[in-house]
Amino acid sequence: MHTGPMRRFDSATCPNCRTDFDCLPVEGDEDGNCYVVFPVTACATCGVLLCPCCDQFTCECAQVHCSEHVILVPDGTPNPLKCCAACASECAPLELPFEPAAMCPDCGSIDLVGELADHGVDPDTGYHDAQELFRCLACGARGPAEDAEAKAPTKIAAQRETAAAIPARQTA
């Protein structure tokens, strides 16, 4: 036999993304007002209430923002940083040194993946024989990883000019 008050549940729809939520608990106060407990977070920029299904992002400052306030900050990677306006204004562009990436010797693409060729145990030496390989995603070429490693350009040593010694002025 159940002696406590029975909990009530109801449904609700998010006003932003129109997602339906079922079996949400109904709470009430001492004045008889009832409401559905709906999990939302306010956008730190505009205050719009966001449910877990709404388009949103969490900035590096740990604040939740709606996707309308995202600012993409390039950081030299394929996926730029997602920042709010305050954090984006603090980002300083970095001059990253260019390091040549490995590239396909056939087509010049840098879209490569590494693979490992396992040749088993060499019967003559008893050592495990394996080789690192590359596979080009652009043209499908395969080969030893050493063939795809980019060769750094040879640096040309600076030529120092030696100026003729200028005689010092003598003061009399």
H/E element, 90: helix 85-90
What is the distance between the alpha carbons of residues 134 and 144, in angstroms, rounded to a whole number? Answer: 6
pLDDT at 162: 42
Q: What pLDDT, on the 0 to 100 scale, is given for residue 77?
A: 75
Given a cut of 70, the residues of the chain with pLDDT beneath it are: 1-6, 93-101, 150-172
pLDDT value of residue 170? 53
At 86, which helix (H) or strand (E)? helix 85-90
Q: Provide the residue ranges of all domains of the chain, joining segments of one domain with +.
A: 9-90, 112-148
Please count the other Cβ atoms lying within 10 Å of the Cβ belonging to residue 56: 20
| Prediction pTM value | 0.45
Residue 56 CA to its chain's centroid (Å): 16
CA atoms within 13 A on the CB side of 10: 11
* Eight-state DSSP code of residue 156: P
